[in-house]
């Protein structure tokens, strides 16, 4: 059992690994999925940022190029008159050019016109007002192409830079149109709102200093950004864009949250399931043990058990029943009447009983029936039927207990037969005894009377005085009295032929039997010893017991017919132990041949010419009828020892 349960436990452990593994894989898979979707999201953002920035750079470049072209096209009309220049400047500022100041420099670099006007040069440096860069001017004039100047601060919190566009007229440089860009305004004009909503866009110097920023939303920004160099403005300006930390989409959040909740529900249900299964497992184990115990009990029963449903179909039989009838459970279960174990000669009776039981009218105290074994042997059984009540309290059939009483019945039959035999042998005893007593015992007194009377008659014939004849006659009278006694005893025997039970002192019965044997013993010169070691009181018929003792003693006497006179001895011992009295009668006679030993108790067996052969058979019946035993064995000193074992009377 323990090995079985430990095997099951290890199987359970293995079984539990699978859902655990599945759960871990599920959680891992979900986490991986989320991570991958996050990564894809980031990647997508990054790609958008790159393309947005490239677009922005293109847009800025387009702005600047367009402005360069427009500035390059400034004509004489605009540069000769301050008003015209102003209107030109306003037009330029008008279409989101990012330009905030326009300056017209002569070919020599002198400021001719400016809108808005330039402040005092000394002041301009401090405030950040545009002072056209000589270096850019010279470069532009010499190469004949637009040149951008270095960014410089404007009123502390803003930065600006200039573009010097040389203007040629009639094949020579007529002057340089200087456009001043304010970085914040440039960004404001060229970065569309939708871009500004997504990124914080700044223009930075090489050193990392931010010169201007365009952003629409005040929000946390992510760390990583994107940078593109901002040429041709030159001077190492770069455009830097940092995406705002966009809140994760609600759908993704809901998905993640629902996945986490789902995982927790799975975990919880797994835990509940495990608890339930463990409990169930424990109950199953207990049930299994109980079932095994019950089965062991049922299997070890000697009583047959058989259950039938309400239709009379067999639904259960235990091993004892199978052993009893010789059919296996598989062969019996499902069978309907007539059953294979119904005895052929009692089919109608059995069918009637079966129907009565099914109708609920079976004998409540049980009934005896004859059944047939598979080998055809008929057995007697005692059956008790009881209603079979199922777990729901419903009457679902009949449960029968079947006890094999064949042996008991046979024993009863044997006892009855023995009783009959005993009764007939008792009668035989009476008859035999009467006959043998009459023959045997009347013979002696009659012979004695005859010889005394013959003697007396001879004496009288010889006219012997009467006084001398008298003793012989007295003896004849005495013998006649003995003969009377014998007749009386025979009468008593006949009177006691019916069973009589009383308390008997076994020693006294031995004495009585010895007294009856006295003449014989004396005549045959036999020495008899009686060692009465205990007083044995038994229950029984004194006359029958005395006859049995007499018979054994007579056999002992007769067995020593050929024994030398000095060895003719009978030793009688009476002992008591363990509730039994044991009487031992040992002779030194001829002994019993091994060949005849087992026939000794057969009726009519005798080795004597004048014997009847009834004595020992009757003796044994008498002793057994007193719940005792009669046996014999060879006497080590020659002859035979008979043992009579009788139960002592209850005190
Ligand atoms: P019976 O005395 O009429 O022969 P029993 O039944 O008393 O009938 O005895 C049967 C036989 O058992 C006797 O014939 C005798 O051979 C043998 N027998 C009985 N008792 C003794 C004994 N003590 N010693 C030797 N043989 C015995």
At 67, which CATH number? 3.30.450.20
Pocket test for ligand 1, best of 524, 567, 590, 600 (most atoms within 8 A of CB): 600
Question: Out of 100-104, 206-210, 495-499, 530-534, which region has the weakest mean confidence (pLDDT)?
Answer: 495-499
Atom of ligand 1 nearest to the CA of 600: 12
Does residue 1 form part of some domain? Answer: no
Domain span including residue 573: 501-647
Rounded Cα distance, 485 and 492, in Å: 10
**pLDDT number for residue 72:** 86
Residues 555, 596: Cα–Cα separation, whole Å: 15
Instruction: Name the residue of 603, 606, 634 to mutate for ligand 1: max ligand atoms within 8 A of Cβ.
Output: 606
| Mean pLDDT lowest among 218-222, 481-485, 504-508 | 218-222
pLDDT at residue number 577: 92
Q: Please report the atom of ligand 1 found closest to the CA of residue 589.
A: 24
Are 155 and 242 members of one domain?
yes
DSSP 638: S
Q: What is the CATH number of the domain that holds 616?
A: 3.30.565.10
Is residue 458 within 8 Å of 478, Cβ to Cβ?
no
Q: How confident is the model over 225-252, as pLDDT tens digits? A: 777 776 656 566 787 888 776 666 787 7
Task: Confirm whether 28 is domain-assigned.
Answer: yes
What is the number of the ligand 1 atom nearest to the C-alpha of 607? 14
The more confident residue out of 485 and 183 is 183
Pick from 339, 374, 404: which residue ends a domain? 404
Q: How confident is the model at residue 123 (pLDDT cuts 50, 70, 90)?
A: very low
Question: DSSP alpha helices (H): ranges in 130-192?
Answer: 134-143, 183-190
Contact 322, 329 (CB under 8 A): yes
Say yes or no: CB of residue 590 within 6 Å of ligand 1: yes
Q: At residue 633, does pLDDT exceed 90?
A: yes
Lowest mean pLDDT among 122-131, 258-267, 416-425, 437-446: 122-131
pLDDT of residue 53 exceeding 50, the answer is yes
On the CB side of 198, CA atoms within 13 Å amount to 17
Q: What separation in Å is there between the alpha carbon of 101 and the centre of ligand 1?
A: 167
pLDDT of residue 581: 96
The confidence score (pLDDT) of residue 520 equals: 80
Tell me the pLDDT tens digit for each residue of 150-193. Answer: 888 877 677 888 889 898 888 888 888 988 888 888 888 778 88
Distance 446 CA to ligand 1 centre (A): 26
Question: 628 CA distance to ligand 1 centroid (A)?
Answer: 20
**For ligand 1, mutation pick of 549, 550, 555, 591 (most atoms within 8 Å of CB):** 555
Give distance in angstroms: CA of 572 to centre of ligand 1. 18
Are 201 and 346 within one domain? no
**346 and 390 share a domain?**
yes
- Strands 172-182, 99-106: pairing kind: antiparallel
- Indicate if 643 and 579 belong to the same structural domain: yes
Mutating to test ligand 1, I would choose from 526, 557, 616 the residue with most ligand atoms within 8 A of its C-beta, which is 616
Please report the pLDDT score of residue 314 as a whole number: 94
| 130/201 same-domain check | yes
Q: State the Rg of the chain over Cα.
A: 71
Q: In the structure, what pLDDT confidence band is assigned to residue 122 with cuts at 50, 70 and 90? A: very low
Please work out whether the CB of residue 192 comes within 6 Å of at least one atom of ligand 1: no
Strands 99-106 and 111-115: antiparallel
* pLDDT digit string, tens, across residues 581-628: 999 999 999 999 888 888 888 766 788 776 666 678 778 878 888 889
Is residue 283 situated within a structural domain?
no
* Cβ neighbours, 10 Å, residue 152: 16
Q: How close is the Cα of 592 to the center of ligand 1, in Å?
A: 8
Spatial separation of the C-alpha atoms in residues 200 and 208, rounded to whole Å: 15
pLDDT band at 490 (very low <50, low <70, confident <90, very high): low
Nearest CA to ligand 1 atom 8: 613
466 with 582, same domain: the answer is no
**Judgement on whether residues 68 and 100 belong to the same structural domain of the protein:** yes
437 CA from centroid of ligand 1 (Å)? 17
**Which residue's alpha carbon is nearest to atom 12 within ligand 1?**
600
Using DSSP's 3-state secondary structure scheme, residue 368 falls into: strand
Tell me, in angstroms, the distance from the centre of ligand 1 to residue 612's CA: 10
* Cα–ligand 1 centroid distance for 582 (angstroms): 21
pLDDT computed for residue 231 by the predictor: 63
Q: Does 1 score more than 50 pLDDT?
A: no
Assess if residue 267 is contained within a domain: no
Whether 290 maps to a domain, the answer reads no
461 and 522 share one domain: no
Q: Is the pLDDT of residue 284 over 90?
A: yes
560 lines ligand 1 (CB under 6 A): no
What whole-number distance in Å separates Cα of residue 470 and Cα of residue 474?
Answer: 6
In tens, the pLDDT along 506-562 reads 999 999 889 878 878 888 889 999 999 999 999 988 877 888 898 899 899 999 988
Q: What pLDDT band is residue 2 in, cutting at 50, 70 and 90? A: very low
- Residue 616 Cβ inside 6 Å of ligand 1? The answer reads yes
Kindly state whether residues 303 and 360 are assigned to the same domain: yes
Confidence of residue 650 (pLDDT cuts 50, 70, 90): confident
289, part of any domain: no
Contact assessment for residue 147 and residue 235, using Cβ atoms and an 8 Å cutoff: no
| 273 located within any domain | no
pLDDT band at 334 (very low <50, low <70, confident <90, very high): very high
pLDDT for residue 121 is more than 60 = no
Ligand 1 close to Cβ of residue 589 (< 6 A): yes
- 73 lies in the same domain as 159: yes
Share of the chain above pLDDT 70, in %: 86
Cβ(630) – ligand 1 distance below 6 Å: no
pLDDT band at 279 (very low <50, low <70, confident <90, very high): very high
Asked if residue 147 is part of any domain, the answer here is yes
Question: How many whole angstroms separate alpha carbon 361 and alpha carbon 338?
Answer: 19
Q: Which residue has the higher pLDDT, 58 or 326?
A: 326
- Residue 617 CA: nearest ligand 1 atom is 6
326 lies in the same domain as 471 = no
How large is the average pLDDT for residues 405-426?
78
| Among 462, 497, 532, residue at a domain's last position | 497
| Least confident segment among 98-112, 115-129, 287-301, 569-583 | 115-129
Q: Is the CB of 401 under 6 A from ligand 1?
A: no
Cα separation, 156 vs 337, whole angstroms: 119
Position with higher pLDDT, 52 vs 123: 52
| Number of domains the chain is built from | 4
Which of 468-482, 497-511, 586-600 is most confident? 586-600
Cα separation of 214 and 191, whole Å? 8
The answer to whether the peptide bond before residue 473 is cis (omega within 30 degrees of 0) is no
Mean pLDDT of the chain: 82
Q: Is the pLDDT of residue 393 over 50?
A: yes
Distance CA 234, CA 67 (A): 16
Q: Are 287 and 295 in contact (CB under 8 A)?
A: no
Q: Which two tokens stand for residue 620?
A: 């044994």
> 442 with 354, same domain?
no
Distance in Å, CA 494 to ligand 1 centroid: 25
* 227 close to ligand 1 (CB < 6 Angstrom): no
Q: Last residue of some domain: 404, 431, 453?
A: 404
Whether the CB of 615 sits within 6 Å of ligand 1: yes
């Amino acid at each position: 059992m323990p090995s079985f349960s430990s095997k099951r436990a290890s199987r359970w452990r293995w079984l539990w690994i699978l859902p655990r593994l599945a759960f871990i894989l599920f959680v891992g898979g979900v986490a991986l999925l989320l991570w991958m979707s996050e990564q894809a999201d980031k990647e997508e953002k990054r790609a958008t940022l790159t393309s947005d920035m490239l677009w922005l750079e293109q847009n800025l470049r387009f702005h600047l190029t367009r402005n360069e072209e427009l500035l390059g096209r400034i004509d004489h009309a605009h540069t000769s008159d301050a008003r015209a220049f102003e209107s030109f400047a306003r037009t330029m500022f008008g279409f989101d050019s990012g330009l905030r100041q326009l300056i017209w420099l002569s070919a020599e670099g002198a400021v001719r016109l400016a809108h808005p006007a330039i402040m005092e040069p000394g002041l301009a440096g401090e405030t950040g007002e545009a002072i056209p860069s000589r270096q850019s001017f010279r470069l532009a004039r010499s190469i004949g192409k637009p040149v951008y100047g270095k960014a410089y601060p404007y009123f502390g919190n803003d930065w600006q830079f200039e573009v010097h566009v040389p203007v040629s007229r009639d094949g020579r440089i007529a002057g340089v149109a200087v456009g001043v860009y304010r970085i914040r305004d440039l960004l404001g004009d060229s970065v569309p709102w939708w871009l500004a909503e997504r990124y914080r866009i700044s223009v930075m110097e090489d050193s990392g200093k931010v010169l201007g920023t365009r952003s629409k939303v005040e929000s946390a920004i992510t760390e990583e950004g994107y940078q593109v160099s901002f040429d041709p403005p030159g001077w190492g300006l770069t455009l830097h864009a940092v995406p705002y930390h966009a809140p994760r989409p609600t759908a993704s959040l809901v998905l993640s949250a629902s996945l986490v909740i789902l995982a927790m529900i799975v975990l919880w249900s797994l835990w509940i399931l495990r608890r339930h299964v463990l409990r169930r497992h424990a109950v199953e184990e207990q049930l299994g043990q109980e079932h095994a115990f019950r089965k062991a009990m049922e299997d070890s029963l000697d009583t047959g058990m058989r259950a039938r449903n309400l239709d009379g179909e067999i639904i259960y039989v235990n091993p004892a029943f199978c052993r009893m009838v010789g059919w296996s459970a598989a062969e019996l279960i499902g069978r309907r009447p007539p059953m294979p174990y119904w005895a052929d000669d009692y089919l109608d009776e059995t069918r009637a009983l079966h129907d009565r039981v099914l109708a609920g009218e079976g004998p409540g105290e049980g009934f005896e029936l004859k059944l047939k074994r598979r080998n055809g042997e008929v057995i007697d059984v005692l059956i008790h039927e009881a209603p079979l009540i199922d777990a729901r309290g419903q009457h679902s059939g009949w449960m029968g207990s079947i006890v094999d009483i064949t042996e008991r019945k046979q024993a009863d039959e044997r006892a009855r037969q023995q009783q009959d035999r005993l009764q007939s042998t008792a009668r035989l005893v009476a008859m035999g005894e009467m006959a043998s007593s009459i023959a045997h015992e009347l013979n002696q007194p009659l012979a004695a009377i005859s010889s005394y009377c013959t003697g007396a008659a001879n004496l009288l014939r010889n006219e012997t005085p009467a006084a001398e004849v008298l003793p012989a006659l007295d003896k004849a009278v005495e013998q006649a009295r003995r003969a009377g006694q014998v007749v009386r005893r025979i009468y008593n025997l006949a009177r006691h032929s019916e069973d009589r039970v009383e308390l008997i002192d076994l020693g006294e019965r031995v004495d009585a039997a010895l007294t009856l044997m006295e003449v014989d013993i004396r005549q045959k010169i036999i020495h008899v010893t009686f060692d009465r070691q205990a007083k044995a009181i038994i229950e029984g018929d004194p006359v029958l017991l005395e006859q049995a003792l007499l018979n054994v003693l007579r056999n002992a006497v007769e067995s020593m017919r050929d024994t030398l006179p000095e060895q003719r001895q009978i030793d009688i011992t009476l002992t008591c132990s363990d509730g039994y009295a044991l009487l031992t009668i040992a002779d030194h006679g001829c002994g019993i041949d091994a060949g005849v030993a087992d026939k000794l108790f057969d009726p009519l067996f005798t080795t004597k010419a004048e014997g009847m052969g009834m004595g020992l058979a009757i003796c044994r019946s008498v002793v057994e009828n007193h719940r005792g035993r009669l046996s014999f064995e060879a006497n080590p000193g020659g002859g035979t020892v008979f043992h009579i074992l009788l139960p002592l009377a209850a005190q």
